[in-house]
Amino acid sequence: MEKERRSSKQYGSLEKTQVEGATQKSMATNQWNYTLDVVLNASEVAIIQEFQSSLNSFPIQLSNNTEISDITFTTVCSSTATGFQCRCEDNFAWPYSTCVTYGACDSIVSGICTCIDAIPADGQSCQEISGLLAQVEYDMYVDLHFTDIGTVDALRSILDAGGFSLALGPTVNVTHINITTVPLVFYEYQIIIEVNTSDADQLRNVLNSLTFPVQISSSVNILDANITTVCSQDNTGFQCHCENDYLWPCDKCDTYGKCDGNTSNTCGCINAIPPDGQYCQPADQN
């Protein structure tokens, strides 16, 4: 009985209907419905229980145009040795944020609890469970950045396996993920091709007649093609001449000898075919 003698606070909700110029029974069109939160203070729990028992007949007529259609008790707060506990009545509960902020004094199930260790500072009372458990679905778009396209393929395989569910918290679940857009990744390669021909001018004419890019397949294009080096045989061996805008690096000129009279470190002609497969380089790289 000691608990009942401590101060007790009970929250209730009632609905008031106001009708202008007519009673509720007239079904006038100008009417308003209000939901009011009322705080009752009582020194004895029995007083509240007696009040609850007396509310057994609705509506309660307050005047010719105002009546109370229903009263529902939602929250009972009572003092404890360490402070207060606020418990919800049947069919009511605290939302998850309130359970976490003030501390739950019972289990948090499906993101709700029915008891907290404080009186909320904002005057909030327990809410209907049906409203707290109502599911809301959102579509969200997230940008992911990967440096390896293989990671995208691995993620796609996981998602295609089905049965995907990710719990972000007691009240938030990710139920489905789709990859909608993957930007194309372009790789550029420089390929050196050796061509044996008896007429270098004919090869030049063929390349000059092409319109670039040249599509090889749905995913491969040739962006450009240039002749860099022409090697031809003479009475003493081979000479390798660079095309316009290309030069031999200085080490090749020194190793194989210049055949163009160039006095700078680089040159446009050497007296051999380099065995390492190197060819003339762009002039701006020398």
Give residue-wise pLDDT tens across range 178-197.
787 777 777 888 888 889 88
How does strand 92-95 pair with strand 127-128?
antiparallel
Q: Which of 29-33, 46-50, 163-167, 270-274 has the lowest mean pLDDT?
A: 163-167
Q: Quick one: pLDDT at residue 188?
A: 87
Looking at per-residue confidence, does 77 or 44 come out higher?
Answer: 77
What are 252's two structure tokens?
């090749």
82 vs 117: CA distance, rounded Å? 9
Task: Report whether pLDDT(166) > 80.
Answer: no
**Cis peptide upstream of residue 274 (ω within 30 degrees of 0):** no
The answer to whether residues 125 and 74 touch, using CB atoms and an 8 Å cutoff, is yes
Q: What is the mean pLDDT of residues 119-140?
A: 85
Q: Tokens 């860099």 — which residue? A: 228
Identify the pLDDT of residue 171.
Answer: 67
Please spell the DSSP secondary structure of 86-141, one letter per residue. EEE-TTEEEEHHHHHHH-BSS--BTTEESEESS--TT----EEHHHHT--------
pLDDT, tens only, 17-44: 222 232 334 445 578 888 877 888 877 7
Q: What is the mean pLDDT of the chain?
A: 80
Domain ranges of the chain: 2-132, 135-185, 200-285
The predicted model gives 154-170 an average pLDDT of 75
What's the whole-model pTM score? 0.45
| pLDDT on residue 274 | 93
Q: What is the mean pLDDT of residues 80-101?
A: 91
The whole-number pLDDT of residue 30 equals 72
Task: Examine the pLDDT at 9 and tell me if it is beyond 50.
Answer: no
The residue-averaged pLDDT of 128-142 equals 81
Query: Which residue would you say has higher pLDDT here, 55 or 214?
Result: 214
Is it the case that residue 281 has pLDDT exceeding 90? yes
